[in-house]
Amino acid sequence: MDLRDILRDTLGAYRVQFLYLHRHPVPLEASALDFLFRNQLYESFDYVQFAENIMALVPEDDVIDYRDDFDLHYLVFPVSREIDEENIYVFCGPFTYKTFNEEDFERLIHLHGLTSDSIEALRWYFKRIPVIRDYLSWQNLLSSLLSRYLSNPDLQIRSVVFNHPETAKPRPSVSLSSIPYSSVEARYAVENALLEAIRRGDISEATYQQNLFMGFTLDQRLSDPLQDGKYMLVAVNTTFRKAIEQAAVHPLYIDAISGRFAAEIAGIETMEELHALIPQMIRHYCLLVHQHSLERYSSAVRSCLNYIDFHYMEPLNLESLAERFVINKNYLSTRFHREVGMTVTEYINRTRIQRAEDLLKKKTLSMQAVAEQCGFSDANYFTRIFRKINGRSPNEYRKSLSPGTKV
């Protein structure tokens, strides 16, 4: 994990967006800076000029804390030269150092010449902006990380205040029905990014997106916050399940993990338990993708892998699998070895030995019983294959599981 990933994940824990922008960005790229907030208030806002004006203020190998005309803050700095990506800047934000109240909204409306109905748009928008309440800790943490990232031991985060007069024309009115639009659109974008990260099994990215998602204010459907949160987790569990299904994880694995989390959700009694379960769900769903995703395999090989994983205790070989799935055995042998990196027989044996390692933890099972439950009719043959794959005999492996035992 490099410093850039650590920076992004640290900011994600604060729910702060981590955004890359080219020195001359395209409008769609630049509009991500404020989640299209200004586009909602102005008839034609020039996001490209807005972004370029900020980047022009950034010293080489240094960082600015830029406060814009809505009192929103951004940490802005160039991408490290060591990464060899010139003319790319990182924008961390928007965020604020205080919670905004009605007086603040009235002041911003007067300052920008906005219509009175714009106040609802400001209320909606600032609900989702993260608030950094401990300024000194925030500055110390980011200064330490950024000084290493930019290889600048003397780095200081410099405060820069907005100094470009606004030229965009305010909209004559802001439709109440359109106020949540940009917020909902941004929320769906983050939600999709979260599900895509889970489909790939990317725990770091999924955690970052989940932290951003928690910054959105969701309508409470029920009067009881805990019950409302539990209903939300049930929906989350369902969407995570569908995400890893797209990664070609077998339904039996998916059903097991979703059923487990469904039971845990039902047993939640406090909001603390509810919030703690979300990162657990992300981690375990991602790990399941790492362990059991067959997305990269062809349909024929995927069918064989799934069948072996769930029928390893039965008589299995190349011929029986080719016959079951109506595939030429020579074609299956070649394709399987190319995609999996081992022969069908080797994969069958490895799957059986992995299961045997679990069974050997049960000290009451005889070696013959372990062998039979793993698909080996001959205990001696089982021992030979176990030693070949594990590097030691089943008895030696079992002894090594006892505390203080040296083998």
Query: Which of 88-102, 203-217, 241-255, 368-382 has the weakest average pLDDT?
Result: 203-217
* Cα–Cα distances in angstroms (integers) from residue 108 to residues 1, 45, 113, 271, in the given order: 41, 17, 8, 35
Check residue 13 and give its pLDDT. 83
* Residue type present at position 345: T
**What are the percentages of helix, strand and coil residues in the chain, rounded to 5?**
60, 10, 35
Q: What is the mean pLDDT of residues 191-203?
A: 91
- In this prediction, residue 218 has a pLDDT band, given cuts at 50, 70 and 90, of low
Burial class (CB in 10 A: 0-12, 13-18, 19+), 44: exposed
Mean pLDDT, rounded, of the chain: 87
Spatial neighbors of 216 by CB under 8 A, at least 6 apart, are: 128, 183, 186, 187, 190
Say how far apart CA 206 and CA 3 lie, in whole Å: 18
pLDDT in tens, 63-121: 999 999 999 999 999 987 655 566 899 999 999 999 999 999 999 999 998 988 888 88
* Residue type present at position 134: D
- In this prediction, residue 180 has a pLDDT band, given cuts at 50, 70 and 90, of very low
* Sheet-wide strand order for 88-95: 18-22, 88-95, 73-78, 63-67, 157-161
Taking 50 as the threshold, does the pLDDT of residue 226 lie above it? yes
Taking 50 as the threshold, does the pLDDT of residue 59 lie above it? yes
pLDDT winner (highest mean) among 52-66, 73-87, 216-230: 52-66
